[in-house]
Amino acid sequence: MRRLSARADRHRLAQPFAIARGTREAIDLVTVSIGQDGKIGRGEGAPSARYGEEAQSVLAQVQAIRPAIEAGLDRQGLLSVMAPGAALNAVDCALWDLEAKLSGVAVADRLGPLPGGIVTAITVGIDRPEGMAARARFLAGAKEADGPAPLLKIKLDADDIIDRVQAVREAAPLAQLIADANESWDMALLERVLPALAAARVELLEQPLPAGADEPLEGFASPVPLSADESAHVAAEVEWLASRYDYVTIKLDKSGGLTGALALAEAAQAAGMGLMTGCMLCSSLSVAPAWHLAARSRFVDLDGPLWLAADHPGGSVLEEGLLRAPSGLGWGW
């Protein structure tokens, strides 16, 4: 007999996190636990105001599906009765974790081995150009002498774009750079700033235009590859995305867990698109399943747990410039 429980917890951030939509100093996370035959599978969802979510609404969705889960609903059936979002992510990942613990077969044995470590983007939040330069200089200077070049993700809004990007590039001349506008630009602004981004060797630009207003990107030849983030959720959207974007940014909270995210990744790759694996601000319980996408991705942004004032014991570790892989049958908790 299965039993499902869920709770919401508030987590303080180690420092404010500033993007185009605002600044956050704390986050709410929802943890789902599913018990069966003495084993417990766990999953986490990060409610996003961008998608109309808050902790209580996510908990309500989880409680609504609880009878079906306790009656034996599986992951594929779950996709047909829940919409993609933080609630589906938490339940889906808890089922993956439970399956691994019940069977004794690690998720990595089913989906493929994980690398020992990956280069993850570390976010440089919105600030004055000199403040962003100082953050970039610190992050680039913290890398090991013989370690990989750091990957920095520059958060941007519609102000001081070129000054901010140039300041970060000058402060971190060897770093790989990604820029993320979080839907804050229009097409005219995009066309104006792209040459400067290309000159600063920005390797990827995430979601410059608002989701639903990115039709002008169809057939647009960008000197910097573009990745769909807020526009990309499920596999069924890939055909539309492929003529407008070069990459998809996959986050389990958007795609409804690992099951839906794997389907999105396979569809995107079949359409010739590249992959970026990202995450919301979250704990290592969210990041552990995302590793199975990160292993397939050109770019990885799994620094969410590194922003927390306190993560799970044994959580994400950045070591010698690499984020270290989780161990165990499932997610490690």
Which residue of the set 101, 153, 155, 254 is catalytic?
155
Write the burial class of residue 86 (CB in 10 Å: 0-12 exposed, 13-18 middle, 19+ buried). Answer: buried
Beta bridge partners, 206, equal: 180, 227
Tokens coding 99: 């399956």
Helix (H/G/I), strand (E/B), else coil: 13: strand
Task: Tell me if residue 39 is catalytic.
Answer: no
Structure token pair of residue 200: 């600063």
Q: How are beta strands 202-206 and 226-228 bridged, if at all? A: parallel
Tell me the three state secondary structure of residue 142. coil
Could you confirm whether 251 is annotated as catalytic? yes
Residues 128, 153: contact at Cβ < 8 Å?
A: no
User: Edge-to-edge, what's the strand order for the sheet holding 3-19?
Assistant: 3-19, 22-36, 39-45
- Beta-bridged to residue 179, according to DSSP, are 154, 205
Q: Smallest Cα–Cα separation from 75: which of 205, 261, 200? A: 261
Q: Residue type at 212?
A: G
Active site positions, annotated: 155, 251
